[in-house]
Amino acid sequence: MTGGGRRLFVPYLVGALALVVFHVALVACQEAPTPPPMVWPSPRPPSTPSPEQVLEEALFTISFKGNLLAIERIKVGHADQNLLVFSETQRFTDYLSTERRTVVLSGGLNPLRYDLEISALGTRSTWVAERRGEVMDCFSNNMAWYGPVLAEGISPAPGVMLESSPSALPFALLTLRLQDAEGVPEDLHLHCLDISEDYPTSRPLTVTVAPEGGGAVIGTVAYEGSIGGGPNQRFTMWIRPRSRLLYGVEMPDFEFGLWQQAAHSSLRGKGALVIKRVGSLPDLPEPPQKGKAARLPLEFSGADKTRRAGTLILPPGDGPFPCLVAHSAGGVAPRWDPGDVFAERG
């Protein structure tokens, strides 16, 4: 083969080899199975928060007739596989008082035991309720009442404790019942009990969705509650679906109990009660000043060895001063303060 023939043969050889390689690759592609499309995992739905996640360190303010009345903090614990929920409310009226609530909940979120303690002016009133089968027994030692009261066999046993002394705790526990992994029920039927009544009664409670009440807080759902009997029969609460968070409660015509109205003029009559969830608790106002005379807390033991408490009002100066003793009525009631009318006279 001449040099010119070899030069013509080489390109033909390269082209033939390229054609063979292309054919082999094409056959391989036809025989290979088509790979399945890429499957992207769908995001997992968020799990329903546990009661501990919802309630631990929940903070609320309570206002009455547009004025800040109380602040409340909720905490959670466990005992014998039961859920314990604690609430401490500091309330300001004519003086500071502290309300402590403890509720033991079953797996179905029913109260097995409920304790309420109110401390004010050196006295402490207590209420205890304990479930016994399908009934509940209540014992109260209200210092504003004539003596201890035992009410047995209250039926049917309540699903929530709801006193005339306002607290965010019962509404937060109601929210746990309304929000679960199965969705939002249209209504809820159970019974409630005001343990602070002199003769507590189990009353029917119905909570229903109120679409027209939505929008008070963006992303929340409104529910309306109706209680069969008692002074405070209606309320509206706003919660966020799935998160089980209580955002607020409003009772437009709230009325305090008899003993609280008797003790505090600012709590008399009906008015709007508002409970709001907050990120931090504000400071309560200081008790009002009575005048220029010095007022000192005083505690001593009486002849019967019981502890007594009072207020010593002193005029300016070093003394000595004549003494006038005024004994107020017993119970959780404001101490009578005559102002400076006697102190100004030495």
In tens, the pLDDT along 223-238 reads: 999 999 888 889 999 9
What is the domain extent for residue 319? 294-345
| 261 lies in the same domain as 305 | no
Distance (Å, whole) CA 227 – CA 190: 10
In tens, the pLDDT along 160-175 reads: 999 888 999 999 999 8
Residue where the block lists tokens 């403890």:
102
Where residue 26 falls among pLDDT bands split at 50, 70, 90?
low
The predicted pLDDT at position 231 comes to 85
| 92 lies in the same domain as 188 | yes
| 325 lies in the same domain as 207 | no
Using alpha carbons, select from 149, 154, 132, 165 the residue that is nearest to residue 62. 165
Q: Is the pLDDT of residue 45 over 60?
A: no
How many structural domains is the chain composed of? 2
The predicted pLDDT at position 136 comes to 96
Q: Is the pLDDT of residue 118 over 60?
A: yes
- Joined together, the tokens standing for residue 253 give 């015509």
3-state DSSP assignment of residue 9: helix
Last residue of a domain, one of 253, 278, 303: 278
- Joined together, the tokens standing for residue 69 give 């009345």
Strand (E) or helix (H) holding 18: helix 3-31
| Local structure of residue 230 (DSSP, 8 states) | S
Whole-angstrom CA distances from 131 to 71, 154, 162, 339 are 29, 9, 16, 47
Lowest-confidence pick of 68-72, 136-140, 200-204, 215-219: 215-219
Task: For residue 7, tell me if it sits in a domain.
Answer: no
| 274 lies in the same domain as 326 | no
